Amino acid sequence: MHKELGIGFGVALLIFLLANGYNVGPLVVLGVTAAAFYYFVRVKGLVKNFAVTEGGGEATVSFDDVGGQATAIKELREALDFIKNYNRARHLGIRPLKGILLTGPPGTGKTLLAKAAAGYTDAVFVAASGSEFVEMYAGVGAQRVRRLFQTAREKAQQSGKKNAIIFIDEIDVLGSRRGKVTSHLEYDQTLNQLLVEMDGIKADDTVHILVIAATNRADLLDPALLRPGRFDRQVRVELPDREGRLEILRLHTRNKPLAADVDLAVVAKETFGFSGAHLESLANEAAILAMREGLREIHHRHFVEAVEKVLLGDKLDRRPTRDELWRVAVHETGHALLSEAKEPGSVTTLTVTPRGGALGYFRQKSENDNYLYTQEQLENRLSVLLAGAIAEEVVLGSRSTGATNDFEQAISVAETMVRAGMSELGVVAMAELPDTVRHRVLTDVIRKREEEVRRYLEARKGLLVRIARRLMNEERLSGEEFQALVTQEMAG
């Protein structure tokens, strides 16, 4: 509104002066200069306003809102207690921390933890992203860093607070190793300014500032950022385990009406590898599916389908030909049979419904989250991955391109076995292996599993065909249905 009034007043003034015979040339030059200055300062963002949230309000995020990160919360609380209990820390001669670096995979709750830290310390929360400090104009990034710290101090004083938390997301964009971009020193100048500002944080400042940064690529950061006196603590924010996933699901379903058949513990068990963001999306997708059906409660089947949607995407309208559908059914049944043989009861879903980039898939569960794998477990994993293509070969006489992704994963598993000293070479350094030797060893590891899988499926070809036909007709089998078919065959 003020901009439009100013433009209108300026035009009216020029018309008035022209009508009275005044020379308006100097005024036009002044106006153009002012417009150019406004363009570079406002439109191009030389002056940056950062998002500010006051801690301690009703909408403040607390650590109770962060699920599945008990270890990270414990470490973070310990560091924040130096700020919260400043007088006691000073009595013991403790220097308050200047920076905390949150590292871990995307979607694990790093931003949420930073907001909870602001609530825990009753601090003003100023948020920025690493990309906001990168500009083509020299000096802009450094000016924005200064502005960020200035904003934190000003907002804390205006709010009557003693603490301010500056949160920088994706700090690897701003804080990557200096000297990498030799043609443009803007990146280095911006990082240098951040280092200077962090060095300038004093324990006796009127407003104590704590810098919290998040990244999933800590290996890219400049060593100067990670030394004591800058980012004093590194807190790992990992993917949640099963208990953590259950806690997160409870948080994200507390405002959702769940039917009596919903068992969140089962859902948590079947979502190994899901981050907090994945689980939030899962709960949301389940609610959407229930709404589509006109239901007032979310049922377990909605969570099952939501897991598939989060993993692979929505169902596709395109349909494969009948011959393709039969091949897909044989392929997925081969995977499932080997999974059942290696770990009874592990198959949860078997389908030939196209979803995302997959024409069909099978999903398996594990009794426990595994972080270490034995040689036997890796060999079993290899067998399951290879079973789809070999099932096609046993029933149809040839393989297809549908096994491409399976083979890529199989090679990755075989490489893990070689690196772990589980091959005929014993303990080796993969980087020093000649390509010919590496190729031969990987091929031998995979070929042994292929021979075992082929013998197993050829001996059960009839069962493989019968289950594949049932799958083709019904398009989807639950783990219980699949296991009943296998049990029935074995009993017969």
Contacting residues for 202 by C-beta, under 8 A, at least 6 apart = none
The beta-strand segments (E) located in 310-460 are 347-351, 361-364
- As a dihedral over the C-alpha atoms of residue 399, residue 403, residue 409, residue 410, rounded to 10 degrees, the angle is -20
To which residue do tokens 């570079």 refer? Answer: 40
Q: Beta 99-103 vs 233-236: how paired, if at all?
A: parallel
Catalytically annotated residue among 135, 332, 340, 379: 332
Q: List helix spans (H) across 20-61.
A: 25-38
Contact (CB, 8 A) for 79 and 178: no
Main-chain dihedrals φ then ψ at residue 336, nearest 5 degrees: -65, -40
| Pick from 441, 402, 403: nearest CA to 424 | 441
Contact (CB, 8 A) for 134 and 190: yes
54 a catalytic residue: no
- Using DSSP's 3-state secondary structure scheme, residue 126 falls into strand
**Separation of alpha carbons 203 and 230, rounded Å:** 13
| Pick from 107, 366, 112: nearest CA to 239 | 107
- Which residues carry out catalysis? 332
